[in-house]
Amino acid sequence: METLQKIIQSEGKVVNEGVLKVDAFLNHGIDPKLMDQIGREFTSRMKGEQITKVVTVEASGIAPAVMAGLHLGVPVVFARKGTSTIHAEHLWKATAFSFTKEAYSELSISKELLNDDDRVLFIDDFLANGGAAKAILSIMRQSGATLIAYGAVIEKGFQGGGDWLRGMGVRVESLVRISGLQNGTIQFDEERGA
């Protein structure tokens, strides 16, 4: 997605060889027009798939997911981080390991909001090491929902989460793929990113 790549190029900050900061438009500040274009792009990629729900994870996945839900005309549900034990029996839940934050978090979705009738487009801001992906696949299995595609606004292809998902037979839709962050510059994977 060319517009997105240009904004990453101009606003993104390379923190180190593993981390790209995009607080200007995705992880802190949010660019509504860009989110709208992102929603439209995911929608056009899901043509004919009869998506019934967009699923994401709080917080940064919500903006692109809502825009995709708007254009697809389907509801959105975000997995919460940290579960209350009080209503545990009403939740699908799985533990995600964040490689970036070196911490575990519990992801949960109410059983009332996701079930075996659902055909899901999952969307996240980053696809990196796949910590969230593993937890999401577990929640999909528990609920019986069908994962049609795993969407990422930005895939860091060099961190393996996307390749792990593809190896599991999951359709991955990344709007931009980054192949490296060496020497303070962002390398885009031109072939597979668009």
Cα distance between residue 148 and residue 155, in whole Å: 18
Nearest of 103, 81, 112, 113 to residue 94 by alpha carbon: 81
Tell me: is residue 156 an annotated ligand-binding position. Answer: yes
Q: Which residue is nearest to Na ion (CB)?
A: 60
- Give me the 45-84 binding string for Na ion, x by CB under 5 A, dash otherwise: ---------------xx-----------------------
Residue 88's φ and ψ, nearest 5 degrees, are -55, -35
Burial of 85 (0-12, 13-18, 19+ CB in 10 A): exposed
What tokens appear for 44 in the block?
Answer: 């056009």
Q: How many CA atoms lie within 13 A of 74 on its CB side?
A: 23
Cα distance between residue 66 and residue 72, in whole Å: 10
Tell me: is residue 132 an annotated ligand-binding position. Answer: yes
Q: Which SS3 state, helix, strand or coil, does residue 115 take?
A: coil
Minimal distance, residue 116 CB to Na ion, in Å: 25
Contact 153, 38 (CB under 8 A): yes
Q: For ligand G4P, which is the closer residue by CB, 52 or 79?
A: 79
Q: For ligand G4P, which is the closer residue by CB, 52 or 65?
A: 65
Nearest of 18, 15, 105 to residue 57 by alpha carbon: 105
Contact 192, 177 (CB under 8 A): yes
Taking CB within 5 to 8 Å according to partner kind, which of Na ion, ligand G4P, none is near residue 9? none
Taking CB within 5 to 8 Å according to partner kind, which of ligand G4P, Na ion, none is near residue 129? ligand G4P
106 near Na ion (CB under 5 A): no
- The residues binding ligand G4P (CB under 6 A) are 19-22, 27, 57, 59-61, 98-101, 125-133, 156, 161
Minimal distance, residue 89 CB to ligand G4P, in Å: 25
Tell me: is residue 115 an annotated ligand-binding position. Answer: no
Name, in order, each residue with C-beta under 8 angstroms of 84's C-beta and a sequence gap of 6 or more: none
125 near Na ion (CB under 5 A): yes
Tell me: is residue 39 an annotated ligand-binding position. Answer: no
Q: For ligand G4P, which is the closer residue by CB, 12 or 39?
A: 12
Which residues sit in the known binding site for xanthine? 20, 27, 156
Which residues sit in the known binding site? 20, 27, 128-132, 156
Which residues contribute to the site for Na ion (CB under 5 A)? 60-61, 124-125
